[in-house]
Amino acid sequence: MRYILAFIWRYKVFFLFLVLEGFSVLLIVNRSYYQRSVITNATAGFTGGIFTAWSDITAYFKLKQENERLSNENARLWQRLTESQLTNDTTTKRVIDTLRGQQYTYSVARVISNSTTLRNNYIMLNKGRRHGIKRDMAVFNPNGIVGTVVSVSENFSWVMSMLNKHTKVSARINRLNQMGTIVWNGGSPAIGTLLDIPAHVKVKIGDTISTSGFSHIFPEEIMVGTVEKIHVESGEHFYTIDFRFSADLNSLRYVYIVRNLLREEQIELSKSIIDE
């Protein structure tokens, strides 16, 4: 404080000049409409620039909250889609859940750890058991499929990324409605492989791939990627199709975790068929 007072005293004449100059401008502005309009126009751009810059700064620091709000809103919208609801042709079926006819529910999580350079890559999320997260829940983001929950603690969960040799997901080529299996053979984190598509069908570069809904984990029609390369080995009857993931798995921030409310029922029914 002493140094500040010394500085002001040292330059007291200059500060007095500024005060008197400001007072003079104020008098001119109050007494003359023309002068007031000129000064107002001259300062509007300057003050507007300051307010714009301040608005940009505050908006930047609010990005985290805004992203979380938008992600939660998107999750609520996903739950209203028909793909998330149980398709049933009889009125005698009753689904025991909090949302009538709902088969899938969605929650938002933030990615806090992610790898893409290993042969088996995993993602850690900031949601766990106390948030209702369990093993074998699907994970995706607005652009496409991400992976499957494989381990859960009280507050966190590990997701087996699509970039993992153990990942296998049922998918379809949308234009042809042909079913296959998604795997990752290593290499580029942007490229996956679709197997089990019969070689007699006419697959084209640019065909889109989405989840089939045939698993107990992923809902149907979640985007997977776009066909980039098609080949078939001599003597083989199925294509090996390289595609580009629609989701950038190297820049994940927020994801959706999907819970299939009827998964246990589907598994029990499958077991009864296998046991027979």
The residue segments making up the domain with residue 99 are 81-275
Element at 138 (helix H, strand E) = strand 138-141
Per-residue pLDDT tens for 236-257?
899 999 999 999 999 998 999 9
Paired with 258 in beta bridges are: 106, 138
* CATH code of 93's domain: 2.40.10.340
**88, pLDDT greater than 60:** no
The answer to whether 206 touches 174, Cβ cutoff 8 Å, is: no
86 contact partners, CB below 8 Å, separation of at least 6: 93, 95, 101, 102, 103, 262
> Six-digit token pair at 82?
């028909």
Per-residue pLDDT tens for 9-23?
777 777 677 777 766
Q: Confirm whether 56 is domain-assigned.
A: no
> How large a percentage of the chain has pLDDT more than 70?
67
> Six-digit token pair at 4?
């500040």
Q: Confirm whether 179 is domain-assigned.
A: yes
Nearest-angstrom CA–CA distance, 88 and 83: 12
Q: Confirm whether 205 is domain-assigned.
A: yes
Q: Confirm whether 25 is domain-assigned.
A: no
Q: Confirm whether 150 is domain-assigned.
A: yes
Q: Provide the pLDDT for residue 172.
A: 96
pTM score of the predicted model: 0.66
246 versus 95: which is more confidently predicted? 246
Q: Confirm whether 76 is domain-assigned.
A: no
How many structural domains does the chain have?
1
Least confident span in 36-50, 85-99, 176-190, 218-232: 85-99
Nearest-angstrom CA–CA distance, 143 and 210: 11
**138, pLDDT greater than 60:** yes
